[in-house]
Each structure stands twice: as C-alpha cells, then as structure tokens.
Structure 1
Amino acid sequence: MLKESVVGLPSDNIPVSEIASSPYSSVYVTINDAHQAYVLLALVEAPQTLPPTQFSSQNAELKWVSSDAGMLVTRNSRLLKTINLYDGNRVSLTSDQTDPIALGLHLASTPLQWQNTIDWQPGYHLNYQQYSTFTFIADETVSINDKPVLAKKFNEHVVVHNLNMEYTNQFWVDNATGLVLKSRQKIAPNLPYIDITLLKPYGFGDAK
C-alpha cells in the first residue's frame, strides 16, 4: 500500500466498526498527498540500548506494516525509519536528547528545541544534523474515525545547515494527554511528506 500511495490509487476507507473490532492498532498513511493506506501495527520492540526492565509504551518502537511489506517505524509517533517506500527511505533518526514529543508538547515544561541526526537513501546521506524548534499554532479540530476531536497543533521547524535546507513538520496532539493524533512529517530533507492519522492507539498486548 505504501508503494502504491504515490500513483493515485483509490484511497482506503475502512468502516469505523471494523477498525474498532480489529485486535490490532492501526493508522492511515498518505505519502505525497496521494493514496490513503490502512496500515496495521505488526511488531513492538524495545530500543536495543534499553534494559528490559525499563521497557514501556512510552519508549516502544512500533513497526507498522503494509500489505506489500512497506514498513514505518515510530516512537511516540515520531518517524524513525521507513522500508520499501517508493521515493526513498529514512534509514535512521537518532538523538542524545529526549524528543519533545515524548515529553508532551501540551505541557508548558517541555523544551521547544531539539537536535537529531538523520540518515536516508537513495544515496549515502549519513549523519546530517537537524535542528528543530517547536511552535504552538492553534487549537484545531481533526477528524479521527469520522469524529471531530479538538487538538493542539504544533509546527516543528527543522533546519539542516549542511544542506542549507529547512522544512516544517506538523503535529496535532490531544489536549489532555499529549498523544499525537495526526502528523505530517518529511521522510528526509529531499523526500516527500508522510501523513499519519492514528485510528486505534497502541497498548500493551496489541502486538507480539
């Protein structure tokens, strides 16, 4: 589905009842503003550097797999890695700092600056430093499973000095919990945007 998302196939529109009855967490994914794909959570893993006793839903790496073996890897809705996408793939995203999204963008105590390192393909794009600044934009209503939900919209302005490039990611978070309900993230500085809408959140026991 993720490969097909760039060639204009009809969008997946799954009945809300089917989403609710499914045993799996799920998201809608759109790449390049094209085909909307229904993607399921296939695997939950702890980061390799994390002791098993510290594993929780907050630091879990979620692996979402499409019907043609495309994959997204996320943590707290942040895109970490992609596999088998049509235009190219994010190989990794790492940081020594805690991602503000993990801390909760809705909290006044959360830092609004962040640095990370990104690798991507095609080509050998390795160890590019990115500098982010988050800004609250407005309270907006988003549609989740055909229901309007009030969320806080944040922009993440990203600067890649070595490439003289900048771009903006967007996140819509739950007012009370900070859970990311919807996001628009660039796969890499010269690759398309990917839109992810949360349909059924992950909870322990959703995937093995």
Structure 2
Amino acid sequence: MSLSSFPIYSLFVLIFALSGCSSNFKNIIDSTKALDYFDKAKDADYIASVPYASAQVTVNNSKTLLLILSDASKNESTGMFRLTWLSADGDSIVTEGGRIVHTVGFTKDNLEELASVSGNYVLGKVDTWQARYDWSPGYRYGFTANVNTKNLGSEVISTDLWSQETDKFTETVVFDTLDAGFVNTYWRAPSTDEYDAFVVKSVQYLGPNMDKVEMLMVRPFVPYRSADKASQGGQP
C-alpha cells in the first residue's frame, strides 16, 4: 500500500493502552524483541503495524529515528507517568507530561533531570513556574530557570497515519544566572470524555546551546481519565 493511499485516522484510533490497573507498569514490552522492529523501513504501512507505543525523534535536524516505549512508571510526586523511549542503539529519552526530563546516550550533553521547584508544572495549567535542570557530564546540577507558558491557539498536526487538532504552546525558559535561555514548543491534543489532554508533538532543547529534540507521537500511550477504567496507559 502506498503512502498516498494509506487511510488517515483520528489520532485516538491509534492510542496504545494496557490491561490492568497498576500504577507502575514495569517491563511493558520485551525490549530485545522490540529491537527487531528498528531496522525496517519507516513507511506508513510499517509504522502502523508496529504493536508498541512509538515515537519518531529527530535530533538537530538529523535522520529521523523510531523509538519504542520500553517502560512506563508513575511518578508518585507528580501523579504523571514517566515514559522511557528506547532507540535501536540502547539510547533513551524519558518524558513526563510531554516534557523531556532525562536522556541517555546523547553525544555531548545529557539531561540528568528536569523538575519543578514551584509546584504544579502540567502544561497549560500555569502561566509561570520555576524549573531545575541537572546536566552531565560534569558537575552541572541545580540550575534554576524561570518558565513562561503561552497558548498560541489551535493548529492541526497531520502525519501519514493521522490528523489531529491541537493546542499549540510555547514555553520560554530563561536562566538568569547563565544569561541564556531557549523556547520549547508543544502541540497538545485536547482532553475527551475518555482521555486527558496529551502532547502529540514537541520541539525541545536539553539546555542552553544544547541539542534540539523533535518528538512526534506515532502511536501515543495515554491514560484514561477515570481511575475506575479497566485499562490504563501513560502520557507521552
């Protein structure tokens, strides 16, 4: 089937969910088994056939990679899921609520942790908040940034597989002590009767003058809104 003839679905048709009510989904997939999928062509037919939650990732405008969700663990302090996205080389990106909070395997700089020091940092819930960044290598810990969030309105995001109306946000991150900053951009699908709002696409920086990472959810992993539902998932 050619790309031009592949049906375009609503993104919600492709949502990946798991059975069970545990708040900690360890070992969602057999990672070794999942690696079989990385070396194949990344066309629409193939991507639609992958039975795992997945994301396309581009670092600094380089070749696009397909990452597979390998772990989802609920962060008890925030109530959100931390998702680990695994590459064929064993490198990984960890996201929480759509934000990149940890990386492994980047060539120059890795984000050890991104955390809020001012309470709730759910995208769109507050206009301003404070973040703490830790980086490696080197002892680069405890850098505080002021974050200002702006809603830019609605925008439709389309891929070969799906089309979804989203709310577009920018977050301006400023480090006063470093006299530096950057702007992250997020596209978030709205909440429904079943699902909370979730980020479908983002362009984020690991830090000032560090790698730019673009993530696009191919098959999202999203929680049901009701804790009484029999199936649970996690936010990208």
Q: Which one-letter code corresponds to 2:202 in the other structure? A: S
1:139 aligned onto 2:147: no
- Aligned residues of 1:144 and 1:198 also touching (Cα < 8 A): no
Q: Which has the larger radius of gyration?
A: 2
Deviation at 1:60, TM superposition (A): 1.5
What secondary structure does 1:100 align onto? coil
1:199 aligned onto 2:227: no
Partner of 1:76: 97
- Aligned residues of 1:71 and 1:84 also touching (Cα < 8 A): yes
Over 6 Å off, 4+ runs: none
Question: CA RMSD, aligned part only?
Answer: 2.2
Q: In structure 2, which of residues 95, 104, 129 is the aligned counterpart of residue 114 of structure 1?
A: 129
TM-score normalised according to structure 1 size: 0.79
Q: In structure 1, which of residues 79, 85, 94 is the aligned counterpart of residue 106 of structure 2?
A: 85
Deviation at 1:146, TM superposition (A): 4.0
Give the percent of matched residue pairs that are identical in Structure 1 and Structure 2: 25
Q: In structure 2, which of residues 185, 196, 206 is the aligned counterpart of residue 170 of structure 1?
A: 185
User: 2 CA distance for matches of 1:144 and 1:76?
Assistant: 21
Q: Which one-letter code corresponds to 1:192 in the other structure? A: D
Q: In structure 2, which of residues 122, 144, 158 is the aligned counterpart of residue 100 of structure 1?
A: 122
User: 2 CA distance for matches of 1:75 and 1:202?
Assistant: 12
Q: In structure 2, which of residues 42, 54, 57 is the aligned counterpart of residue 14 of structure 1?
A: 42
- Aligned residues of 1:100 and 1:112 also touching (Cα < 8 A): no
User: 2 CA distance for matches of 1:13 and 1:142?
Assistant: 23
Can you give the 5+ residue segments of structure 1 that lack an aligned partner in the other structure? 1-11
Deviation at 1:191, TM superposition (A): 0.7
Deviations 1:38-93 (A, max 9, x none): 0000111233xx38xxx9xx611111110101111111111110001122100111
Q: Number of paired residues?
A: 181
Partner of 2:14: none
Which runs of structure 2 are paired with 1:30-41 in the superposition (5 Å)?
A: 30-41=58-69
Deviation at 1:128, TM superposition (A): 0.2
What secondary structure does 2:177 align onto? helix
User: 2 CA distance for matches of 1:191 and 1:81?
Assistant: 14
- Aligned residues of 1:100 and 1:114 also touching (Cα < 8 A): no
What secondary structure does 2:201 align onto? strand
- Aligned residues of 2:48 and 2:161 also touching (Cα < 8 A): no
User: 2 CA distance for matches of 1:79 and 1:205?
Assistant: 18
Can you give the 5+ residue segments of structure 2 that lack an aligned partner in the other structure? 1-39, 223-231
User: 2 CA distance for matches of 1:91 and 1:194?
Assistant: 15
What secondary structure does 1:19 align onto? helix
User: 2 CA distance for matches of 1:122 and 1:13?
Assistant: 34
